[in-house]
Amino acid sequence: MEKITNIVSKPTLPPPHGGRLVNRLLEEEPEAYAHLPAVQLSERSYADLELIATGVYSPLEGFMGQADYQSVLEYLRLANGLPWSIPITLGVDPKTARGLRRARLVYRGETVGLLEVEEQYRPDKEAEAKKVYRTCDQAHPGVAALLASGEVYLAGPVWLFRLSRGDFPEHHYTPAETRALFAQKGWKTVVAFQTRNPIHRAHEYLHKVALELVDGLFLNPLVGQTKSDDVPATVRMQAYQVLLERYYPKERVLLGVYPAAMRYAGPREAILHAISRKNYGCTHFIVGRDHAGVGSYYGPYEAQEIFELFAPGEIGIEILKFEHTFHCRSCGTIVSRRTCPHGPEHHLLLSGTRVRELLRAGEALPLEFTRPEVAEVLRKAYQAQGGVGWKS
């Protein structure tokens, strides 16, 4: 983890969403609460707990009550009017919920936090799926996770015992830590980039165009729960590191993980991702084609268009909207439809299926698609799985 030093500087980064950076970390021993009834957390719920407690989800201090829940679904705002796009809730079965007032939160057999239960309510999950995911199709991973969660939502403030830095402790920062690092580096403007995939040349193009406009790049890959056929976080992190080592200015990039679970909520998730990066201290956020999408549930640029529902400055982070970029053989570089005059027969476009075919065959990925160092990381990881695909 990059060292953070104490410095005195004039604040230049955006204030946290809602004006205050939430801190719900509790410096006490979990054993003192062993007498409380237990609520078991899924991987997704544990990720939400951490993001609430460390301020990534500021101004939330706990799982949402019904007023906020309904307002977010209907109006893309919390009940107080602050922009917010996805309900952050904790579902349990009715037996667990019955009479519950205070609970210890348990994840993988360990007590990790506390919940003060202020409210219980039963959501209409079909309505929630239609609003958040635009579908009730259980083939959608977000819908499947929603329908598998408990019938009763528990709401109230939470506390987290001892922050776990997960599988990537040297790259696992809280918003308070990233803000200190940005200030230490003298960055007054910072662009964040969200990814759940290895970085290819088109991504690199977006980063470097953005770095012409701002002081620093916060490469913030999502490392929480994803689909089983997504590239595992350990492989992706290795690919990011070899890429940053050779092709990026070290003094202008910070690699830090985003420990959220992927919801695949497309446009609504783009808003949540932007708010999270604002809380980390970023001034700009890149939104490209089909951000946080899956399948064909969303239009290719709906994740950009949804920001038009808010007044300028209302979310508090500037959105950099990029069209789909690709390599054009005739232009000899990365382009988009806005900059390239040539037809699709000139363009190198590799689908995920085609990339897996090449990896399965042990063949090199084209240099125009990805850097050779990244291709080698992917090839070795794929072959280590017997050439049959990724395993989570």
Q: Domains, the chain, ranges and CATH?
A: 25-161 (3.10.400.10), 169-384 (3.40.50.620)
Reported as a single tens digit per residue, the pLDDT across 227-269 is 877 888 999 999 999 999 999 999 999 999 999 999 999 999 9
Place of tokens 């783009």: 270
Give the catalytic positions in this structure: 196-197
Q: Are 308 and 272 in contact (CB under 8 A)?
A: no
The DSSP call for residue 232 is P
User: Is the torsion defined by CA of 180, 181, 185, 187 positive or negative?
Assistant: negative
Beta strands per DSSP E along 143-246: 152-161, 190-193, 216-219
Mean pLDDT of 116-126: 98
Length of the chain: 392
Confidence bin at 388 (pLDDT 50/70/90): low
pLDDT at 2: 82
From the list 139, 131, 149, 64, the residue with the least C-alpha distance to 267 is: 131
Mean predicted confidence (pLDDT) in 271-275: 98
Amino acid identity of residue 356, one-letter, is R
The per-residue pLDDT for 389 is: 59
β pairing state of 152-161 and 90-92: antiparallel
Which stretch of 9-23, 32-46, 152-166, 248-262 has the lowest confidence by average pLDDT? 9-23
Residues 6+ apart with CB under 8 A from 254: 2, 178, 181, 182, 185, 216, 217, 218, 219
The beta strands (E) that lie in the chain are given as: 25-26, 38-40, 62-63, 90-92, 102-107, 110-116, 119-121, 152-161, 190-193, 216-219, 253-255, 284-287, 318-321, 325-328, 333-336, 347-348
Looking at the predicted structure, is the pLDDT value of residue 7 above 60?
no
Helix (H, G, I), strand (E, B) or coil at 33: helix
Percentage of residues of the chain with pLDDT beyond 70: 96
Mean pLDDT, all residues of the chain? 93
Place of tokens 């990724």: 390
- Alpha helices for 134-200 (secondary structure H): 141-148, 175-185
Residue 8 banded pLDDT, cuts 50, 70, 90: very low
pLDDT at 390: 55
Q: Does pTM top 0.85 for this prediction?
A: yes
C-beta separation of 89 from 66 below 8 A: no
Residue 79 to residues 24, 132, 201, Cα–Cα distance (Å): 21, 17, 42
Please give the radius of gyration of the chain, using alpha carbons only, rounded to the nearest integer: 21
